[in-house]
Amino acid sequence: DAGITQSPRHKVTETGTPVTLRCHQTENHRYMYWYRQDPGHGLRLIHYSYGVKDTDKGEVSDGYSVSRSKTEDFLLTLESATSSQTSVYFCAITWTENTEAFFGQGTRLTVV
């Protein structure tokens, strides 16, 4: 298994509170990604990073921010959680562009 750890694995939070999800990798891969998975939508890209301090938006980035201060850590922050952000969040890594991707085990977030 690729060394990807997501934390927490489960979280319930209240509307309006800030939430940070962490993705930690031990593979020294350059690229890291955050996806959300919702019924009927498959997986959709939120943000990605192509190096330390280098990030960009995906297709569903509104309401989310990211940071990458070290190669191994990619943080996803919901500044003020809403019920529409209830989802399963997956982190992925790739070594370079156009190489196979490996996923973390996912974080189930519920916003009540």
What residues from 16 to 45 belong to the interface with other proteins (CB under 8 A)?
31, 33, 40-45
Check binding of 92 to other proteins (CB under 8 A).
yes
Cα angle 13, 17, 21; round to 5: 65
Break the chain down into helix, strand, coil percent, rounded to 5: 5, 60, 40
Nearer to other proteins, 13 or 61 (CB): 61
Q: Which of 78, 7, 68, 77 is nearest to 32 (CA)?
A: 68
Check binding of 88 to other proteins (CB under 8 A).
yes
Q: How far is the CB of 87 from other proteins (least distance, A)?
A: 12
Q: How far is the CB of 53 from other proteins (least distance, A)?
A: 16
